[in-house]
């Protein structure tokens, strides 16, 4: 489907409203962060490594819970998001936690990141997690922004919902009782215009803004976009569990992630690390 003319404004309104929901009683659990020991999810905790002393750029940071967790661990963090409400909440939370000197928040559309950051590129780490890429139509452009923000030798950490799982949805009819049905083809190029049933963090919420304009990004497109921007993969993992209840049939595991109740039917998430590609002349000739 073709994205409507006002898709950016519609998506922004949705995210502005979600900030209030996520800061409310049914939203994110901020108690550990407020107690000075913020936690990332189990996948990121296992993969990210120490961040103390690193300059970190957190793209699409929402209201900054993870950005501030990284700052609590000694990173010098910059969070960027296009939601005015999210950035206002992130700044207030940083002030409340006494992290204003270690965390800065920038309100900007991702496509304007380079200009909005108003500081030389040179981040040690670009951090992007959970439900970020689907809002972006142009992954090649995203990858160029990531590459432009990294210092030589700097690294990208990305953790995302798996595009294979995005094919399926509880709102689509299924012949298998209790399982999600087929919603959108893996290789669909056009926008997916979707009416969210509720909120991923607070199942009891009834948001007024529910129309999402999102895009499928097959795994090869993500890797190709990074490669096109001069970045190479250090590693790539697929996971049979994810940080939110993507389908009603998932169950919470001992580490707080959502997993299949019986067998690992489909990957639910992937994560990757990468950075500047060092390409030899021979590699360039064989595999341009």
Question: CA distances (Å), 14 to each of 49, 84, 95, in order?
Answer: 33, 12, 25
Name which of 204, 157, 200 is nearest 62 in CA terms: 200
Other CB atoms within a 10 A radius of the CB of residue 72 amount to 20
Q: Residue 277: how many CA atoms within 13 Å on its side-chain side? A: 18
Q: Which residue is nearest to ligand SAM (CB)?
A: 131
Q: Residues in the site for ligand SAM, rule: CB under 6 A?
A: 11, 15, 60, 62, 65-66, 81-83, 86, 109-110, 129-132, 135
Judge contact between 164 and 266, C-beta under 8 A: yes
At closest approach, how far in Å is the CB of 89 from ligand SAM?
Answer: 10
At closest approach, how far in Å is the CB of 129 from ligand SAM?
Answer: 4
Q: Which is nearer to ligand SAM, 78 or 86 (CB)?
A: 86
Question: CA distances (Å), 78 to each of 56, 120, 176, in order?
Answer: 6, 13, 45
Q: Which is nearer to ligand SAM, 20 or 131 (CB)?
A: 131
Q: Which is nearer to ligand SAM, 38 or 180 (CB)?
A: 38
Q: Which is nearer to ligand SAM, 72 or 129 (CB)?
A: 129
Q: Which residue has the tokens 């009834």?
A: 206
Q: Which is nearer to ligand SAM, 80 or 167 (CB)?
A: 80
Q: Determine the Cα–Cα distance for residues 237 and 267; give it in Å rounded to an integer.
A: 10
Name which of 268, 255, 282 is nearest 41 in CA terms: 255
């Amino acid at each position: 489907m073709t994205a409507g003319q006002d898709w950016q404004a519609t998506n922004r309104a949705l995210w502005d409203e979600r900030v209030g929901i996520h800061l409310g009683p049914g939203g994110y659990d901020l108690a550990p962060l407020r107690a000075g020991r913020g936690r990332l999810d189990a996948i990121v905790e296992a993969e990210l490594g120490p961040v103390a002393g690193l300059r970190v750029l957190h793209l699409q940071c929402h209201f900054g819970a993870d950005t501030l967790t990284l700052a609590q661990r000694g990173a010098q963090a910059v969070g960027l998001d296009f939601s005015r409400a999210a950035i206002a909440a992130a700044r207030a939370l940083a002030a409340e936690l006494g992290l204003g000197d270690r965390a800065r928040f920038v309100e900007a559309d991702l496509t304007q990141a380079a200009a909005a950051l108003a500081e030389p590129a040179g981040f040690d780490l670009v951090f992007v997690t959970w439900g970020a890429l689907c809002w972006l139509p142009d992954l090649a452009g995203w990858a160029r922004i990531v590459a432009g923000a990294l210092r030589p030798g700097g690294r990208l950490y990305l953790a995302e919902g798996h595009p294979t799982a995005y094919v399926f949805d509880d709102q689509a009819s299924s012949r298998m009782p209790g399982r999600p049905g087929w919603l959108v083809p893996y290789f669909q190029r056009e926008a997916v215009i979707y009416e969210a049933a509720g909120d991923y963090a607070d199942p009891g919420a009834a948001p007024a803004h529910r129309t999402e304009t999102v895009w499928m990004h097959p795994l090869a497109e993500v890797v190709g976009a990074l490669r096109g921007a001069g970045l190479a993969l250090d590693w790539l993992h697929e996971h049979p569990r994810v940080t939110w209840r993507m389908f009603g049939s998932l169950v919470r595991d001992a580490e707080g992630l959502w997993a299949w109740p019986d067998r690992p039917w489909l990957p639910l998430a992937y994560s990757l690390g990468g950075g500047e590609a060092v390409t030899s002349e021979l590699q360039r000739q064989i595999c341009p």
